[in-house]
Amino acid sequence: AQSVTQLDSQVPVFEEAPVELRCNYSSSVSVYLFWYVQYPNQGLQLLLKYLSGSTLVESINGFEAEFNKSQTSFHLRKPSVHISDTAEYFCAVSGGATNKLIFGTGTLLAVQP
């Protein structure tokens, strides 16, 4: 069975400060890892994903995440956040033939001016 843990339900941060959103997973099989973002009143959008190869993956808007197999983590980071980054962020894992996603409970990133 697979599961995802996002320990922080809400992360308040000031604009231009760095941020880390934590994600830990458990799985008995090889996994593929994802971060999805949900902006207010919008649907889920893929932010970035790790399938194989380099353990550091980046998004087009400055976020990055590093797959750490020994710590079973896939933390999301950004060196300097903007007000527009305010959203709910979901970590997810998939593995197996169906590609179904198992999501964490989400972390609300609240960027303050």
Partner 1 sequence: GAGVSQTPSNKVTEKGKYVELRCDPISGHTALYWYRQSLGQGPEFLIYFQGTGAADDSGLPNDRFFAVRPEGSVSTLKIQRTERGDSAVYLCASSSGQPNTEAFFGQGTRLTVV
Residue 12 near residue 108 (C-beta atoms within 8 A): no
What is the rounded distance in angstroms from the CA atom of residue 103 to the CA atom of residue 113? 30
Q: Interface residues with partner 1 (CB under 8 A)?
A: 4, 6, 9, 32, 36, 42-46, 49, 51, 90, 92, 94, 97-106
CB of 15 to partner 1, least distance (A): 26
Q: Closer CB to partner 1, residue 15 or residue 59? A: 59
52: Cβ contacts below 8 Å, ≥ 6 apart:
none
- SS3 at position 33: strand
Q: Closer CB to partner 1, residue 73 or residue 94? A: 94
CB of 82 to partner 1, least distance (A): 23
